[in-house]
Amino acid sequence: MVKTAGLNFAYPEEQSFNFPDIDLIPGEHLLILGPSGIGKTTLLHLLSGILPASSGKIVIDTTEITALDRKSLDKFRGANVGLIFQQYHFIKSLNVDENLQLRQHFPKRIKDNERRHRLAERLGLSGQLKKKVTQLSQGQQQRLAIAQGVIHQPKVVFADEPTSNLDDSNCNNVVQLLKDEADISKSSLVIITHDQRVSQHFSNQIVL
Amino acid sequence: MNLIYLAYRNMISKPLNLVLSLLLLVLSVSLVTFILQLSKQLNGQIDKNIDPVDMVVGAKGSPLQLVLSSVLHIDVPTGNIKLDEANSIKRHPFVGSAIPVSYGDNYKGYRILGTELIYFESYGAELKGGRYFEESFEAVVGSSVAKKLGLKIGDVFTSSHGLIATSTDVHEDHPYTVVGLLEPTGTVIDQLLICNLESIWDAHAHVDEGHEGENQEGHGDEEHDHKGHGEEEHDHEVHGDEEHDHEADGHEEQDHKEELEITSLLIKFKSPLGLVQLPRFINENTNMQAALPGFEIQRLMGLLGTGVTTINGIAIAILLVSGFSIFISLLKTIRERRQELALLRTYGLGTQKLLRLVLIEGLLLAFLGFLFGWLLGRLALIGASAYLESGYGYVLQIKGPDPVEFLFLGVTLLIATVAVLLASTSIFKLNISKTLADV
């Protein structure tokens, strides 16, 4: 599902990162563990195609994304990749439900109210759908971010430090939610984190 | 959920910013459309009104005033001319038709015009009901007046002295009877109450006399005098031939009325040579002056045109400033929404789609501004129409969009497009990874 070879990224006149090769089979989940400053977010951005690699090859599903032009890459990413950022990003002028509709609409033009509402129900957001995103609590925002990552049933979901600000019980809940939703969406889940608490949930691990 | 909806939601997400961006645009559009409609409609209406008249002959004074008063009925007359002298012009071989007009009274602010039946013909006015006047104090009523005052055939009204509505100086002893109503013509005739010349002479002679010794408080005292003279005046009119006898009787104060007077003579030339020769002839050889409406109005519009051009210039300047304000506002919005735009990139929207999103927002804003501005312009036109109607009897029509206004909409949208394109250069340089990782 995700396969990399000789992946390298160099920031101009700064450090350069060499990443170990990844080979993830469909339906499998992966945890990438590593301390701060080792290029975890960089790796996640490379894998999701929002940052072009300096060298090396990334294949997602059967598509070599390192070989795509910008336009095709945008399209491919929109359809096949789900992203859950460490910093939540929403469209502030839209309400919760509209944010999810937007993610369904682009780029596959899906309008699946049932899936959206069931997902919101599972994530405990049913009562918040008409609210502005800025009115949500921290926890609700996190769950909305998860919903945003999986709503369009991507091939692979990348999550960047999803548990960093959570206590132990919430940490377990969120990881479980992520795994459950990835399974329901039939997506591979890739979590990148420095949080050792997450490691017990994953058999498949890479340590940077 | 699509780009247009998203653009719309983005646009209204900050209402105060939106109002600020709209304000200048609304101001400029309303100004341009208002001035456009006003000058267009006034020009059209004036052209129609002066069309039947090639030359006006009246008392010496400002030629423009003569045209404004005798043809357009929006100013006071320069004075009177002697009917005899006017008739001598009538006989000139270059003159096709000559219509004497006389006025000085009003009914509720609408002018009462004494003239001959040919006046109706010259404006192509037709009766809607009733008949034309046959005797003194029979009035034919223009369509706007009839509508506004609710006059019907058989109604009786009394005129007041002067050309604006006042409650004083009412000629109660000379009531007019409405005998005919006119179809709307879209000309000044719609605003007039028309009777024969004799009616004006009768009422006018009578009032002038009252005025000589009259001041407001003394009104009651004068009443007897007034009435007595009134009767004599009637005699005077009926036995027109015996004027000299009256003078012999020693009515010195009536000397100025021994000859009949009219306000002016509206002339249509038979030959274009009249245009070349007659005005100079009249101005140099008689006590009267000749004014050419076409020329005078052109001169007036030349003066007004400068004003219109200036206002249009200001409006265009405001439009450019509003384009600039849209540019600044979008620039600010794009900066503030950098992360949202980066997020949309991860959703699979390419650079072009993001550009389209911002373009839709800008154009929506411009269109909304134009729409409000246009409505405000029309609202101003309604206000101006009410003002012009009460002051000058001119009614402005509130029409739908004009082709020129569509052109102006195009210009507005073009300016908005340029503003968007200038503001959105950062979209092309957007670094998704860095923008999304930034806290």
B354 falls within a domain: yes
B72 falls within a domain: yes
B302 falls within a domain: no
Q: How many Cα neighbours within 13 Å face the side chain of B396?
A: 27
Question: Does residue B19 sit at the A interface (CB-CB below 8 Å)?
Answer: no
* B375 plus B354 within the same structural domain: yes
| ipTM tops 0.85 | yes
Residue B278 has pLDDT above 60, yes or no: yes
Residue B258 has pLDDT above 70, yes or no: no
Residue B320 has pLDDT above 90, yes or no: no
The pLDDT value given to residue B291: 92
* B77 plus B213 within the same structural domain: yes
Q: Which of B6, B351, B432 sits opposite A102 (nearest CB)?
A: B6
Q: What residues in B contact A83, CB-CB < 8 Å?
A: 346
B178: pLDDT confidence band, cut at 50, 70 and 90? very high
Question: Does residue B417 sit at the A interface (CB-CB below 8 Å)?
Answer: no
Domain boundaries, chain A: 2-207
B276 falls within a domain: yes
Domain boundary among B233, B263, B291: B291
Nearest CA-CA distance, residue A95 and chain B, Å: 10
Q: Which of B1, B346, B350 sits opposite A101 (nearest CB)?
A: B1
The pLDDT value given to residue B200: 84
* B376 plus B393 within the same structural domain: yes
Whether a cis peptide bond, with omega within 30° of 0, leads into A154 is no
Question: Does residue B15 sit at the A interface (CB-CB below 8 Å)?
Answer: no
Q: What residues in B contact A48, CB-CB < 8 Å?
A: 346
* B286 plus B412 within the same structural domain: no
* B103 plus B201 within the same structural domain: yes
Distance of alpha carbon B437 from alpha carbon B22, whole angstroms: 34
Question: Does residue A169 sit at the B interface (CB-CB below 8 Å)?
Answer: no
Contact: A45, B347; criterion CB under 8 Å:
no
B367 falls within a domain: yes
* List of residues 6+ apart from A166 with CB closer than 8 A: A142, A174
What residue has token string 């503030």? B336
* B91 plus B218 within the same structural domain: yes
* B83 plus B206 within the same structural domain: yes
Q: Give the residue numbers spanning the domain of B321.
A: 3-46+309-437
Nearest CA-CA distance, residue A31 and chain B, Å: 20
Nearest CA-CA distance, residue B347 and chain A, Å: 4
* List of residues 6+ apart from B248 with CB closer than 8 A: none
What residue has token string 């010195």? B252
* B276 plus B173 within the same structural domain: yes
| SS3 sequence of A42-75 | HHHHHHCCCCCCCEEEEEECCEEHHHCCHHHHHH
Q: How many Cα neighbours within 13 Å face the side chain of B155?
A: 15
* List of residues 6+ apart from A41 with CB closer than 8 A: A86, A160, A161, A192, B437
Contact: B9, A94; criterion CB under 8 Å:
yes
The pLDDT value given to residue B166: 65
* B10 plus B67 within the same structural domain: no
Provide the 10 A C-beta neighbour count for residue A172.
16
Task: Give one word for A13, left, alpha or beta, with left for phi > 0 and alpha for psi -120 to 50.
Answer: left
B34 falls within a domain: yes
Residues B13-38 pLDDT 10s: 888 888 988 888 898 899 889 988 88
Q: Considering only alpha carbons, which residue of chain B is nearest residue A154?
A: B347
Phi (first) and psi of residue B126, to 5 degrees: -125, 155
Three-state DSSP at B345 gives helix
* List of residues 6+ apart from B378 with CB closer than 8 A: B33, B37, B398
Nearest CA-CA distance, residue B336 and chain A, Å: 11
Distance of alpha carbon A90 from alpha carbon A101, whole angstroms: 12
Distances in Å between the Cα of B11 and the Cα atoms of A57, A137, B170, B357 are 41, 25, 62, 11
* List of residues 6+ apart from B333 with CB closer than 8 A: B10, B14, B17, B358, B361
Nearest CA-CA distance, residue A199 and chain B, Å: 24
What CATH number belongs to A2-207? Answer: 3.40.50.300
Q: What is the mean pLDDT of residues B1-11?
A: 87
Q: Considering only alpha carbons, which residue of chain B is nearest residue A40?
A: B437
* B35 plus B84 within the same structural domain: no
Residues B381-421 pLDDT 10s: 999 988 887 666 677 888 888 898 999 999 989 989 998 99
State the total domains in chain B. 2
Q: What residues in A contact B342, CB-CB < 8 Å?
A: 89
B298 falls within a domain: no
Question: Does residue B379 sit at the A interface (CB-CB below 8 Å)?
Answer: no
The pLDDT value given to residue B245: 44
B174 falls within a domain: yes
A158: pLDDT confidence band, cut at 50, 70 and 90? very high
Are B394 and B303 a contacting pair, CB within 8 Å?
A: no
Question: Does residue A155 sit at the B interface (CB-CB below 8 Å)?
Answer: no
Question: Does residue A56 sit at the B interface (CB-CB below 8 Å)?
Answer: no
What residue has token string 């269109």? B367
Closest CA to A147 of A76, A80, A90, A78: A90
Are A54 and A11 a contacting pair, CB within 8 Å?
A: no
Distance of alpha carbon B346 from alpha carbon A45, whole angstroms: 10
Phi (first) and psi of residue B111, to 5 degrees: -70, 140
One-character DSSP codes across B286-303: SSEEEE-HHHHHHHHHHH
